[in-house]
Amino acid sequence: MSDKLTEIMAHKRVEVAARARPVSLEELAELDARLPRPPSFAAALRRADGALAVISEIKRRSPSAGDIRAGISALDQARRYQNAGADALSVLTDEKYFGGTLDDLRSVTAHFAVTPPARPCIRKDFMVHPIQVREAREAGASAILLIVRALDDAEMETLHTAARAAGLDSLFEIHNEAELTRALALDAQIIGVNNRDLAIFQCDLGLSERLIPKFPSHVTAISESGIFTAADAARVRACGAHAILCGEALMKSPDPAALIAAFRAA
């Protein structure tokens, strides 16, 4: 792991340990049966028209970009994305490094529950314990993120199994071939290539171009980070991406609908 990712994960493990407790698969299955079913994240990423799906991210700041839209309402931004025709949303719930909270996710999914069309939301955070899976399901998420380089195989399997029990999809995030192999060994169905090198915080769309063609055909491929223009979207679509995850460009855009349309047209 990079120094920054190591720092983030160390902080996250301490943060989560303060509220961690045993969470059984039976408990998660019962929770899933009791709560309303969230919209499918996996289904939203495979558009019927074959166009590129767009996962629009709510992100106030990041270690690489600094402040993006500090203080913006997650709910207001979710409404913009909903009106813009985003296929799914990514909601940052890490507070220290990204300025997000679990309440952001709750407010967004509660809005979608009463104001159609609903959009599936992924809880974007540094997952280390099944208690976070329970929190995600309770908050209305449709999926969780698993950062392959930040977890060992046993941790990934535990979290992936917990997500399945809770009725959630898992997005496995990778950065190289070895991480792709590890994700596939756990039967990953959705894999995202993070084009940002977390060691130096630079983006290279060539990572998607190199890795996505190696995905099995049944795996849904997402290209993440570094996508700002229609030309960027066209590059990753050409190499086989079914969807893109875009945060900074959409957060800063005065017209998210136009940018999303441009991505799709690519």
Please say if 124 is a catalytic residue.
yes
The region that residue 163 occupies, defined by phi over 0 for left and psi between -120 and 50 for alpha, beta otherwise, is: alpha
Q: Which of 135, 173, 179, 209 is catalytic?
A: 173
Please say if 214 is a catalytic residue.
no
Radius of gyration of the chain (CA): 17
Please say if 57 is a catalytic residue.
yes
Q: Which of 57, 179, 209, 248 is catalytic?
A: 57
Q: Which of 124, 142, 208, 209 is catalytic?
A: 124
Q: Which of 62, 170, 195, 225 is catalytic?
A: 225
Q: Which of 135, 179, 209, 224 is catalytic?
A: 224
Whole-angstrom distance, CA of residue 112 vs CA of residue 223: 25
98: closest CA among 233, 247, 218?
247
Please say if 40 is a catalytic residue.
no
Q: Which of 56, 59, 90, 142 is catalytic?
A: 59
Q: Which of 90, 107, 170, 194 is catalytic?
A: 194
Please say if 138 is a catalytic residue.
no
- Active site (catalytic) residues: 57, 59, 124, 173, 194, 224-225
